[in-house]
Amino acid sequence: MRILVTGGAGFIGSHIVDAYLQEGHEVSIIDDLSSGKQENINPQAKFFKIDVGATEVEDIFKQGRFDVVNHHAAQMDVRKSVADPIFDARVNILGSLKLLQNCVKYKVKKFIFASTGGAIYGEQEKFPAPESHPTKPLSPYGVSKLAGEHYLFFYKMTYNMSSIILRYANVYGPRQDPHGEAGVVAIFAQKLLRGEQPVINGDGMQSRDFIYVGDVVRANVLALSCNGGGVFNIGSSRETTIKQLFKELADIAVVKFQEKYGPPKNGEQRRSVIDFKHAQKVLGWSPQVSLEEGLGKTVDYFKSNR
User: Catalytic site residues?
Assistant: 141
- Give the CA diameter of the chain: 57
Sign of the dihedral defined by the CA atoms of residues 38, 292, 306, 190, in that order: positive
Task: Specify whether the CB–CB gap between 208 and 201 falls below 8 A.
Answer: no
Cis peptide before 128 (omega within 30 of 0): yes
- Give CA–CA dist 39/303, Å, rounded: 17
- Give CA–CA dist 16/5, Å, rounded: 8
- Give CA–CA dist 246/252, Å, rounded: 10
CB-facing half-sphere around the CA of 204: CA atoms within 13 A: 13
